[in-house]
């Protein structure tokens, strides 16, 4: 019984061996034929292609790229691309910088890079109109000799962290919550302040601050200066002997009832005290009433800023030819050449540009103007003229007489320049209509 079962198992193994031998032989033949025909097609195709290239006069791949010089170039190119991420040619992004995945970062940063000024540039960006709160007398802190600007620390009014905002409460100096201010306050000028911003902060007019502090339209306020701010738009009056409400109202072109109401006086004015200082709401200084009315009717904020915030004259010494340096900066980004008949001097946005020499303004206009943008031409007489291009704002008018070093415009990037990085002055000197190198006249 046991031997019979063992014999049947041996017969089954013998039949399995014969089956596998037959299948293996057939599979080996099939695989060999597949490899054979594949190699035959590939090698024959390669032969035909190389033959056609040879007949056409082209070198083979091996002959072309197997040369030692070509292989060395390929190896060097490969090493260059492998090491490129480890160089400064590709800016690195710090993956650990907080806030990169926030919505605020995706909307506001980082700013796109612009091409650096010319050579000559493309259409620039127009600077938005000056907001009313920025009009007034400014202290730019510009150093004429170096063109540098002194930056000050800014006080942050809010901080955003983790999606939450922490806002600092802000109360106007001298203000009283729930009722209007009725007292004079003293304000210490901070970095970045202007008469316009201070006037908006205290809800009074610019002339009101000028009159109270004995300023002029060309005065400059600096950080640390103390200004007296009246409670309302108007003028302060010290009562003198013989003053009456009608006389005071007529003197300042105001209304007597407004004076009575604000200062809590009697209707007949019998409680006026000699030497007392009262507020004249809506009053104007007599000798400046015309100027004040003109400022009040100006609708163009650019004109208002031009009258109030004109920069001081240049402090640069004239050259031997009598010319002064035309900007507050000395950074030349392009020199005079056979394709560029001028010099380009880069500087801060809206820093002053000066008349290089005394003369008469021949042209002062904005627009494309053949790529000059807002530009000025001054005729100095004797066939000598100077041109100032790409300004953001013009401070003079045609026919106006200007002196050497007088501010005539503010630096910008209008006309044919490249974006915000193209902020500069395009300065030309023309002798009898021929453009000459400006560095032969200015220093």
Kindly state the percentage of the chain with pLDDT values over 70.
67
Exposed e or buried b per residue across 366-395, where buried means at least 16 C-beta atoms within 10 angstroms of its C-beta:
beeeebbbbbbbbebeeebbbbbbbbbbbb
Tell whether the model's pLDDT for residue 284 goes beyond 80: yes
Output the CA torsion 349→354→356→360 (10° steps): 120
Helix orientation angle between 289-297 and 301-308, rounded to the nearest 10 degrees: 150
Lowest mean pLDDT across 198-202, 340-344, 398-402? 198-202
The mean pLDDT value for 169-181 works out to: 52
Lowest mean pLDDT across 112-121, 289-298, 326-335? 112-121
Tell whether the model's pLDDT for residue 308 goes beyond 60: no
Tell whether the model's pLDDT for residue 341 goes beyond 60: yes
> What are the tens digits of pLDDT across the range 195-242?
777 888 888 888 888 888 888 766 777 888 889 899 888 888 888 888
pLDDT for position 394: 92
Q: Which residue has the higher pLDDT, 164 or 243?
A: 243
Tell whether the model's pLDDT for residue 289 goes beyond 70: no
User: 3-class secondary structure for the chain?
Assistant: CHHHHHHHHHHHHHHHHHHHHHHHHHHHHHHHHHHHHHHHHHHHHHHHHHHHHHHHCCCCHHHHHCCHHHHHHHHHHHHHHHHHHHCCCCCCCCCCCCCCCCHHHHHHCCCCCCCCCCCCCCECCCCCCCCHHHCCCCCCCECCCCCCECCCCCCCCEEEECCEEEECCCCCCCCECCECCCCCEEEECCCCCCHHHHHHHHCCCHHHHHHHCCCCCCCCCCCCCEEEECCCCEEEEECCCCCCHHHHHHHCCCCHHHHHHHHCCCCCCCCCCCCCEEEEECCCCHHHHHHHHHHHHCCCHHHHHHHHCCCCCCCCCCCCCCCCCCECCCEEEECCCCCCCCEEEECCCCCEEECCCCEEEEEEECCCHHHCCEEEEEEEECCEEEEEEEEEEECCCCCCEECCCCEEEEEECCCECCCHHHCEEEEEEEECCEEECHHHCCC
Q: What long-range pairs does 330-333 form, CB within 8 A, spacing at least 24?
A: 330/145, 330/146, 330/147, 331/147, 333/116, 333/117, 333/118, 333/424
pLDDT for position 407: 92
Q: Band of the pLDDT at 157, cuts 50, 70, 90?
A: very low
Lowest mean pLDDT across 88-92, 180-184, 372-376? 88-92
Burial status of residue 1 (CB atoms within 10 A of its CB: 0-12, 13-18, 19 or more): exposed
Closest C-alpha to 349, from 109, 104, 119, 134: 134
Kindly state the percentage of the chain with pLDDT values over 90.
17
> What are the tens digits of pLDDT across the range 229-247?
998 888 888 888 888 888 8
Q: pTM above the 0.85 mark?
A: no
Q: Band of the pLDDT at 177, cuts 50, 70, 90?
A: very low
The C-alpha atoms of residue 81 and residue 60 are separated, in whole angstroms, by: 27
Q: How far is CA 395 from CA 101, 126, 338, 370, 407, in A?
A: 45, 17, 31, 21, 7
pLDDT for position 236: 87
pLDDT for position 98: 54
The C-alpha atoms of residue 355 and residue 378 are separated, in whole angstroms, by: 8
């Amino acid at each position: 019984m046991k031997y019979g079962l063992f014999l049947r198992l041996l017969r089954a193994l013998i039949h399995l061996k014969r089956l596998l031998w037959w299948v293996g032989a057939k599979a080996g033949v099939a695989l060999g034929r597949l490899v054979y025909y594949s190699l035959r097609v590939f090698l024959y195709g390669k032969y035909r292609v190389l033959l056609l290239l040879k007949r056409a006069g082209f070198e083979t791949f091996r002959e072309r790229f197997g040369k030692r010089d070509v292989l060395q170039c390929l190896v060097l190119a490969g090493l260059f691309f492998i090491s490129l991420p480890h160089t400064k040619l590709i800016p690195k992004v710090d993956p650990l910088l907080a806030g990169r995945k926030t919505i605020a970062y995706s909307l506001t940063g980082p700013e796109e890079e612009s091409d650096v000024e010319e050579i000559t540039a493309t259409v620039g960006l127009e600077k938005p109109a000056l907001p009313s709160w920025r009009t007034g007398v400014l202290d730019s802190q510009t150093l004429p000799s170096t063109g540098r600007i002194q930056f000050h620390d800014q006080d942050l009014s809010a901080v955003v962290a983790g999606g939450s905002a922490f806002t600092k409460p802000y109360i106007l100096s001298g203000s009283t919550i729930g009722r209007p201010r009725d007292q004079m306050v003293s304000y210490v000028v901070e970095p970045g302040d202007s008469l316009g911003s201070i006037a908006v902060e205290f809800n009074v007019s610019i002339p009101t601050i000028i009159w109270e502090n004995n300023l002029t339209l060309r005065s400059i306020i600096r950080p640390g200066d103390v200004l007296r701010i009246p409670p309302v738009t108007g003028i302060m009056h010290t009562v003198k002997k013989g003053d009456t409400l009608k006389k005071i109202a007529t003197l300042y072109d105001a209304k007597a009832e407004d004076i009575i109401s604000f200062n809590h006086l009697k209707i007949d004015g019998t409680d006026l005290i000699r030497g007392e200082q009262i507020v004249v709401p809506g009053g104007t200084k007599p000798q400046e009433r015309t100027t004040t009315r003109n400022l009040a009717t100006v609708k163009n904020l650019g004109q208002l800023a031009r009258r109030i915030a004109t920069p001081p004259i240049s402090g640069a010494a004239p050259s031997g030819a009598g010319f002064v340096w035309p900007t507050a900066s000395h950074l030349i980004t392009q020199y005079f050449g056979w394709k560029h008949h001028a010099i380009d001097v880069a500087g801060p946005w809206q820093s002053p540009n000066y008349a290089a020499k005394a003369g008469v303004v021949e042209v002062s206009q904005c627009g494309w103007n053949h790529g000059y943008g807002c530009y000025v031409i001054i005729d100095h007489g004797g066939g000598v003229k100077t041109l100032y291009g790409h300004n953001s704002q013009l401070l003079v008018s045609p026919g106006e007489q200007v002196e050497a070093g007088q501010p005539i415009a503010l630096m910008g990037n209008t006309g044919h320049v490249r974006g915000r990085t193209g902020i500069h002055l395009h300065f030309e000197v023309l002798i009898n209509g021929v453009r000459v190198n400006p560095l032969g006249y200015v220093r």
